Amino acid sequence: MAELATLARPYAGAVFDLAKTTNSLDTWSNNLKFLEIVVQDDQINNIIHNPKIDKNTISNLLLDICSEQLDQVGINLLKVLLENKRLAVIPQLVAQYELLKAHNQGFLKVEIAASYPVEQAQQETIKTILQKRLGKTIDINITLDESLLAGCLIHAGDDVIDLSVKGRLQQLATELRR
């Protein structure tokens, strides 16, 4: 999964830069989501991964399916992905593009791992603090992780804020080893 994310990153960045330059962020969102639906369709997925079906047949099939939905630039992206055998990165490409788009529009998805359930009032307090600190509109997703012992671990874009007991103990152990 991490490998697909790494492979998808340059494609997502290039598509985002193009979409931003041409002021077509929403159009590209729709195009990429369409591509994702096509390649994740069970029948199409079986054809793509069938070693008995040659590359040209797969290419022609996908281009026929997508030709009415995608413009020439979208078709060119599909051709590049086909040529480089990167169809599997499309779901990650979509996810990364949407993150870039949301970040550009002032939104940030924040993942919080908490050791105990977080009440709604606490969520709102965390959201307010993060919005002030990061200067973005925050969308919070909270998961439970009892291994943290207490506290929480916050992933906001590239930033990680470790407020957990587990993290503090690891930090203390590192300092004691010096």
Domain ranges of the chain: 2-102, 108-177
Average pLDDT over residues 154-162: 83
Name the pLDDT band for 33 (thresholds 50, 70, 90).
Answer: very high
126 closest CA partner among 147, 157, 152, 145: 152
Res 171 pLDDT > 80? yes
* Structure confidence by residue, pLDDT tens digits, 65-105: 888 888 888 888 888 888 888 888 889 999 889 888 888 88
Global pTM value:
0.69
Name the pLDDT band for 160 (thresholds 50, 70, 90).
Answer: confident
* Structure confidence by residue, pLDDT tens digits, 123-156: 889 889 888 888 888 888 888 888 888 888 888 8
SS3 annotation, 110-159: EEEEECCCCCHHHHHHHHHHHHHHHCCEEEEEEEECHHHCCCEEEEECCE
Res 1 pLDDT > 60? no
Tokens standing for 119?
Answer: 């009440």
Collapsed DSSP state (helix, strand, coil) of residue 7: helix
User: What confidence score (pLDDT) does residue 118 get?
Assistant: 83
Contact status, residue 129 vs residue 138, Cβ threshold 8 Å:
no
CATH for 2-102 (1.10.760.10, 1.10.520.20, 3.30.70.870, 2.40.50.140): 1.10.520.20
Average pLDDT over residues 101-128: 86
Main-chain dihedrals φ then ψ at residue 87, nearest 5 degrees: -60, -30
Q: Is the dihedral of CA 95, 16, 139, 38 positive or negative?
A: negative
- Give residues with Cβ within 8 angstroms of 21, minimum separation 6: none
Contact status, residue 139 vs residue 109, Cβ threshold 8 Å:
yes
Return the number of other C-beta atoms located less than 10 Å from residue 54's C-beta.
10
User: What confidence score (pLDDT) does residue 16 get?
Assistant: 92
Contact status, residue 170 vs residue 142, Cβ threshold 8 Å:
no
Report the greatest alpha carbon distance in the chain. Answer: 63
The burial of 118, by beta-carbon neighbours within 10 Å (0-12 exposed, 13-18 middle, 19 or more buried), is given as middle
Name the pLDDT band for 24 (thresholds 50, 70, 90).
Answer: confident
User: What confidence score (pLDDT) does residue 145 get?
Assistant: 86
Res 6 pLDDT > 60? yes
User: What confidence score (pLDDT) does residue 17 get?
Assistant: 92
